[in-house]
A and B are shown apart, each in its own frame.
Chain A
């Protein structure tokens, strides 16, 4: 019913509700908190539910459809100004940049995850990495170098913004001082047939408390990560683009002395709807302005 009778759309309500643009204005016509909403294309509210278990969701959707059926055509099929796209205030990926998807999961000891629901703690979580052209070009060797150190600021960015427990999205990026060490080196495996193949290896050590978001309670404890990294990268010299990127970073993660293990997998992003969602840190910084600068170049 959801796929056939509705147009499903997923949004970060915390951000959408604060956006000062036509999309934010439209959202605020019928929404004011995180919930499931049914609404007509003109913003007429049909139904709202903060939590609907599956059997009740069907009933809820039927009720929304019944109400929708009573609306005039002007509500069901209003004129939507395509020019609103130009007034959008949400962040966009850098032109000529590189977008990666980072998937994270607790490998052991998910009980330390920053989320109350145990079921969620065992699930993978996702974020995106947005790299500018200048940043991703720093993933490549310079000249004929057979081995090289990846740009320290770039590696620090990956450590600071993307080795966090995003499950539940209850924490922000690591403070600068929490990055005790991070390093990635590259070794050129092959430079032939129009491609450059590189093997990556390194480590990331993070220690300390994570700065909580302003509207959260006290910090959830002292955290320590001791991660090792390995990856591969292929650069297509003809197309001047990275055609393969796989980086796995994993290792012990302790919180208040409680041990666990966490893993992160960075790879080229796909073309699904979720892949267009901005990185958590970019979205929040864009809106609140109180997050550290995300781009290094």
Chain B
């Protein structure tokens, strides 16, 4: 039993070390730029539109609509709606 626990702990340690080797950790931006990146990043309340499973292909949407017997809801803008924020 003790052996099993020790082997398990050793394996966990190995996995942790492997995950933390430099080539596994994501590279980090300089602090100043990381802060800017975080400011640019959309907040959840700014991306409520992502809760809707928008398709971007009319053909694919038609195929699904025909299969499920549902109507299409088409959001059309001059400029793609999913890119305007």
Chain A residues close to B by CB (< 8 Å): 2-3, 5-14, 16, 22-23, 26-27, 30-31, 33-41, 46, 61, 64-65, 68, 73, 76-80, 82, 84-85, 88, 103-105, 107, 120, 123-127, 166-169, 189-190, 192-195, 197, 199, 230-234, 244, 246, 248, 250, 263-265, 272-274, 276-277, 280, 283
Contacts and interface: CB of A to CB of B under 8 A. Distances in A.
B34 to A, nearest CB: 8
B21 A193 contact: yes
Given A7-B68, A107-B36, A234-B27, A13 B52 contact: no
Given A124-B42, A232-B28, A31 B74 contact: yes
Sorted nearest first, the 4 A-B pairs with minimum C-beta distance are A13-B76, A123-B85, A232-B27, A193-B23
A194 B23 contact: yes
Given A8-B75, A10-B81, A244-B26, 9 more contacts: A7-B70, A8-B55, A31-B76, A41-B66, A127-B83, A195-B23, A246-B37, A250-B36, A250-B40
B64 to A, nearest CB: 5
B65 A169 contact: no
Given A6-B73, A192-B23, A197-B27, A169 B83 contact: yes
Nearest to B23: A193
B58 A16 contact: yes
Interface residues of B, number: 55
Contact of A9 (B26, B36, B41, B74): B74
Contacts of A194: 23
A41 B58 CA distance: 10
Chain B contact residues, majority secondary structure: mixed
A2 B55 CA distance: 13
A36 B37 contact: no
B27 A23 contact: no
Contact of A40 (B28, B42, B60, B72): B72
Contacts of A12: 76-81
A10 B62 contact: no
Contacts of A2: 52, 73
Contact of A6 (B60, B71, B76, B77): B71
Contacts of B16: none
A9 B66 contact: no
Contacts of A80: 59, 62-63, 66
A23 B59 contact: yes
B11 interface: no
Contacts of B64: 7
A3 B83 contact: no
Contacts of B10: none
A65 to B, nearest CB: 7
Given A3-B53, A104-B40, A107-B36, A167 B76 contact: no
A123 B23 CA distance: 35
A77 B76 contact: no
Given A27-B58, A120-B84, A167-B84, A11 B29 contact: no
B44 interface: no
Nearest to A251: B36
Contacts of A36: 73-76
A46 B26 CA distance: 49
B40 A8 contact: no
